[in-house]
């Protein structure tokens, strides 16, 4: 097992979005993440969002694949999972904006939803 990599944590997950202002509104105003303004100049538009020490990178690029019949419950699809200290505010904001979500079917304190581009998200409540 010499020279095996040591995995410390996830630096970021990238999501492709069609409408960057709509996605920033969703992630920052509905979900409550903060935009990191230190994104370097790149050949395409995008935004970096801070999730603790990690980030979500929104990439404003053409779709690279087409989703056919994604499952209603985002936990049964590709998704990002984010630890949070509470999910009630996220739940209330999603309800206020009439954005569908499901709760974990296992009984865990976890909420699943999709962003405006259909990317799956999971918010898992942790106790600190």
Across 7-16, 67-76, 105-114, the highest mean pLDDT is recorded for 105-114
What's the confidence (pLDDT) of residue 73?
77
Across 4-18, 75-89, 111-125, the highest mean pLDDT is recorded for 111-125
**19 CB contacts (<8 Å, ≥6 apart)?**
116, 117
37-47 pLDDT, tens digit per residue, is 999 888 889 99
CATH of domain 12-62+71-125: 3.10.180.10
Q: What band does 105 get if pLDDT is binned at 50, 70 and 90?
A: confident
Q: Cα separation of 47 and 69, whole Å?
A: 28
The number of helix segments (H) and strand segments (E) in the chain equals: 2, 8
* Best CA proximity match to 31, nearest among 127, 118, 126, 112: 112
Position with higher pLDDT, 4 vs 52: 52
Q: Cα separation of 68 and 76, whole Å?
A: 14
Domain boundaries defined on the chain: 12-62+71-125
What's the confidence (pLDDT) of residue 59?
92
Q: What band does 52 get if pLDDT is binned at 50, 70 and 90?
A: very high
What's the confidence (pLDDT) of residue 43?
86
Asked whether the beta carbons of 59 and 20 are under 8 A apart, the reply is no
Q: What band does 95 get if pLDDT is binned at 50, 70 and 90?
A: very high
> What element of type H or E holds 123?
strand 120-125
> What element of type H or E holds 88?
helix 88-96
């Amino acid at each position: 097992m010499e020279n095996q990599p040591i995995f410390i944590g996830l630096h970021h997950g990238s999501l492709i979005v069609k409408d960057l202002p709509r996605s920033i509104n969703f992630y920052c105003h509905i979900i409550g993440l903060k935009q990191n303004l230190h994104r370097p100049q790149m050949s395409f538009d995008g935004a970096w969002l801070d999730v603790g020490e990690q980030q979500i990178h929104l990439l404003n690029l053409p779709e690279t694949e087409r989703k056919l019949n994604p499952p209603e419950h985002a936990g049964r699809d590709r998704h990002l999972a984010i630890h949070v200290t509470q999910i009630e505010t996220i739940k209330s904001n999603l309800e206020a904006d009439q954005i569908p979500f499901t709760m974990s079917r296992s009984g865990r304190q976890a909420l699943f939803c999709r962003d405006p581009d259909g990317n799956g998200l999971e918010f898992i409540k942790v106790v600190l």
